[in-house]
Amino acid sequence: MKKSYIAAALLAYAVIIFTWVGCENAAGLLSGKVPDTPSGVTAEARSSDSIIVSWNAVSGADDYKVCSGTSSSSVDSLASTVSGTSYTHTGLTANTTYYYYIKAVNSAGESGYSSYASAKTSSSGSTTPTKLATPTILETFSDSSYDFVQISWTDVPGASTYKVYRSTSANGTYSEITVSLGTTGSNTVNATDSNPRKGTSYYKVRAIPNTTYTPNLTESDLSYVSVAR
């Protein structure tokens, strides 16, 4: 008898919870933690009709909703849902300021809106190319027991690939080398030099855009790091 009363009480409690918080939020309470609100949102105009938006990765997020509008006080529309930490918004109106807010999403629900970032598209017909940001070197790995050197850096929004150059001296001649590119997490790129030189080598990394899809972007400046073996 007591068991049936307990079961009935639990069922009634579940109904109250779903009624109080709503189906979407109740599902979030039962399935896990809603992700934190994204931070570090930036927006940069690439041409008269495109803006690239980027933000910091959020632990536990499966996707991100990119919301845009032409006023900082309102969110007019969902521009896209993406799994990465950058988005290029195209088909925009020239000489117009757009505001962007990001939400992190997982099976538990959605975060709140991030702080906004804004950018203004250039005047119609403007074709001035924009240089990609310089990769920021995060760390290097080398060990005499292993015949390789690995370098990692932050992924650059708008980059489709990277070139790595090596020299035997800091101010010497740098030559492009063949490396294996990979990723660590959602916004870190790593390169493995499987034929490293003995002693200290000097590396530079450059971000390269895909000019077929983003003709308004140009290669970044070179970042620099030295690695001793």
Token output for 4: 């049936």
pLDDT in tens, the chain (229 residues): 455 555 455 545 444 443 333 323 433 444 579 999 999 898 888 778 888 898 888 989 999 999 999 988 877 688 889 888 888 898 899 889 999 999 999 999 999 999 999 998 887 765 556 788 888 898 898 876 768 899 999 888 888 899 999 999 888 899 999 999 988 776 889 999 988 888 888 999 999 987 766 667 788 888 888 888 7
Give pLDDT, residue 213.
62
Q: What residues contact 192, with CB distance under 8 A and at least 6 apart? A: 148, 149, 150, 179, 180, 182
